Structure 1
Amino acid sequence: MTSLTGVITGTESMAERSYRILRDRLIMMDIAPGDPINEAQLAVDLDMGRTPIREALKRLEVDHLVVSYPRRGTFATGVDITELAAISEMRLVLEPLASRRAAEHRGGAYRGELERTMSAILSLDLSGDRRELMEYDLEVHRLIYRAAQNQHLQETLVRLDNLATRIWCMVLDRLPDLHGHIAEHATLIKLILDGDADEAEQLAAKHVIGFEKTIRSVL
């Protein structure tokens, strides 16, 4: 799971690396909602100049993860629970579509990665660290989006899932069945690998509905 560790694989620009690391810090609440973004400190932390960091922040503003104010600076956006319904409404349409497309391709070029991810989930200690489980949740979703082979669908879903995950992380310690939610991913991946598009679509929809119900149950 390279995107959450800061490890670079393959060819990656400094701006892309900066964007990826900052995005996941914001999603996982390592940068808390409302916190100021200190470009100088980030340049030191990430061992790079300010230009790639500024480019990354522009992208993150489009993703609704940071907000910039004239003469005040850039801040991590707040987490607005009232957005949950709108986010879920979109995901309920698009997540099943992505899973269906991924299943129609049987994972395509990502089949091997899906197989390895499924095996990793099945061997996870589901009673272990909740942050690690959330990192797997993010990575599984992103992998399925890539396997759908539709760049526009992928980009839209990544943004929506990022926002949904921030809401989830806000109540992470109070979630009653995080382990079952993560384990469900192994079943979804198996359906995709088997090419069972109908079942994959239905399980993805169930997954989104279950997510919203779980969040609302602890609010």
Structure 2
Amino acid sequence: MAAKESLKQKAYHDIKEKIIRCEYAPGAMLNEEALREELHVSRTPIRDALSRLEQEGLISILPKKGIEVSGLSINDINLIFEVRLLYEPYALLKYGSKIKDEVIYKFFDTFSSPAHTFSEEEYYFLDDAFHVAIVGAIQNPYLLKTYDWIHNQNLRFRVMTGQFVDLRLEMTNKEHLSIVTACLKHDWELAAKEMEMHLMASKSATFDLVLDKKSTKIHHKK
């Protein structure tokens, strides 16, 4: 039984990781048989993984057509940030006191360093870990489950857009430091306000990057 569960988890994790990293691009069609061969597992773990991923909104299983990786649109940016703007400031305001001081100090030390001291990939990881730590303080499993769905989609957008450019990277670092500084003071109202401003700036930057990429593609086609 444990071996079967392990294979199911492996299939689920491997496919999910490839979707989030856009190795399976938005809108791509997947084939169950090809997945079995690629991941070296039987039909049952693959089908179990696909069922879970469909529930998480990462794929759609289309009768007589196949398995489609869920698309991402400009409207999805609005939807993702709408949820993040509801959840993340609320997490600080309502549950900020649940975040351990040593966690806050760790992020303070991290974001006190200039952003350019990290590689882009390292900063992706740090940024994600920071936001996950804040939302992780929420002690409501229903909210956490919904946020996990949004979190997966947000990670895909980052991979697609290459979200951090040098200027935005430094600004993001400063915004993170402002949030953490408010947390160290246990001023959760200020921390929530700083988080809201940070997310609004991130939303604007994401729109700019997506629209710029679209404009560049149109220009090249001409």
Residue 70 (structure 2) aligned to one of 77, 81, 105:
77
Residue 214 (structure 1) aligned to one of 180, 205, 208:
205
How big is each residue's C-alpha offset from its partner over 1:25-53, in whole Å with a ceiling of 9 and x where there is no partner? 32232321122334455456556444333
Match of 1:126 in 2: 116
Deviation at 1:214, TM superposition (A): 0.5
How big is each residue's C-alpha offset from its partner over 1:172-191, in whole Å with a ceiling of 9 and x where there is no partner? 16745134325533543454
Deviation at 1:81, TM superposition (A): 1.3
Could you list the runs of 5+ residues in structure 1 that have no partner in the other structure?
Answer: 1-11
Residue 99 (structure 1) aligned to one of 84, 92, 97:
92
Deviation at 1:122, TM superposition (A): 4.8
Q: Which amino acid is the alignment partner of residue 70 of structure 2? A: T
Deviation at 1:77, TM superposition (A): 1.4
How big is each residue's C-alpha offset from its partner over 1:6-39, in whole Å with a ceiling of 9 and x where there is no partner? xxxxxx8543454344333322323211223344
**Secondary structure class of the residue paired with 1:215:** helix
Q: Which amino acid is the alignment partner of residue 75 of structure 1? A: E
Residue 201 (structure 1) aligned to one of 192, 196, 221:
192
C-alpha distance in 2, partners of 1:28/1:92? 24
C-alpha distance in 1, partners of 2:121/2:192? 27
C-alpha distance in 2, partners of 1:148/1:204? 15
| 1:37 and 2:25 aligned | no
Q: Which amino acid is the alignment partner of residue 131 of structure 2? A: H
Pair 212,69 (structure 1): closer, same or farther in 2 beyond 3 Å: same
Match of 1:19 in 2: 12
Could you list the runs of 5+ residues in structure 2 that have no partner in the other structure?
Answer: 212-222
How big is each residue's C-alpha offset from its partner over 1:52-85, in whole Å with a ceiling of 9 and x where there is no partner? 3322222221222111111222121121112222
**Secondary structure class of the residue paired with 2:67:** strand
- Count of residue pairs brought into register by the alignment: 205
| 1:148 and 2:138 aligned | yes
Match of 2:159 in 1: 169
Match of 1:6 in 2: none
8 A contact 1:103–1:192 mirrored in 2: yes
| 1:185 and 2:176 aligned | yes
C-alpha distance in 1, partners of 2:35/2:179? 37
Pair 157,124 (structure 1): closer, same or farther in 2 beyond 3 Å: farther
C-alpha distance in 2, partners of 1:144/1:137? 11
Q: Which amino acid is the alignment partner of residue 205 of structure 1? A: E
Q: Point out the structure with the larger helix share.
A: 2
Deviation at 1:117, TM superposition (A): 5.1
Pair 126,156 (structure 1): closer, same or farther in 2 beyond 3 Å: farther
User: What is the percentage of aligned positions where both structures have the same residue?
Assistant: 26
Residue 61 (structure 1) aligned to one of 50, 54, 62:
54
Pair 201,69 (structure 1): closer, same or farther in 2 beyond 3 Å: same
C-alpha distance in 2, partners of 1:63/1:95? 20
Larger Rg, first or second structure (1 or 2): 2
Pair 153,118 (structure 1): closer, same or farther in 2 beyond 3 Å: farther
Which range moved further: 208-217 or 184-193? 184-193
Pair 213,60 (structure 1): closer, same or farther in 2 beyond 3 Å: same
